[in-house]
Structure 1
């Protein structure tokens, strides 16, 4: 049984005896490593759920994650710095992954059928960006 001593709050007691300070450091380091591993495993599980791995299709070809991406884009049309934070808080994905999913999604008929105005606006925005890039490389 591991407990902290009531007499000396910084010391660890194992089996009723105070630990050697070096053993305390080793023990605390091991606890930190175990906790870090648990956090990383939880993030990996959460990330795989948030990015659509194993997500079922409820809308005829659009996964839950893709639907959530479309809904988020509809709610935050201009993006911005605050949207990046909200993106992580709501969807648990970064801006790059979000843009990858959104770019792929706007080319599907399912997304167009589900959110026609949003998808058309995003296609116009993508076309305008491609036009700007082509003008920049030609000039």
Structure 2
């Protein structure tokens, strides 16, 4: 059972990502303007949030989708690394 709740900041990050999926320069501008974060810091925080069970309870579809996207990207990077090592 998940007893801790997401912080307001974590909820804002999840809600922002739900409204603005993907990566674009417009999204980066919105991250700076709306959240007052650098894009790099935003993605660090987003990664941390989607690792939490609280986020999974809060928005299971979004969190599972984001985890899957992250895992797919890591697998692609690992594949490139394996090919370049040959």
So what's the TM-score if we normalise by structure 1?
0.56
Q: Which has the higher helix share?
A: 2
Asked if 1:94 corresponds to 2:54, the answer is no
1:88 Cα deviation after fit: 1.1
What does residue 103 of structure 1 align with? 47
Q: Please, which runs of 5 or more residues in structure 1 have no aligned partner?
A: 1-59
1:106 Cα deviation after fit: 0.7
Pairs aligned (count): 81
1:83 Cα deviation after fit: 0.8
Q: Which runs of 4+ in 1 moved over 4 A?
A: none
The structure number with the bigger radius of gyration is: 1
1:61 Cα deviation after fit: 3.0
What does residue 78 of structure 1 align with? 22
- Measured on the aligned residues, the alpha-carbon RMSD in Å equals 1.3
Separation (CA, whole Å) in 1 of partners of 2:29 and 2:81: 33
So what's the TM-score if we normalise by structure 2?
0.88
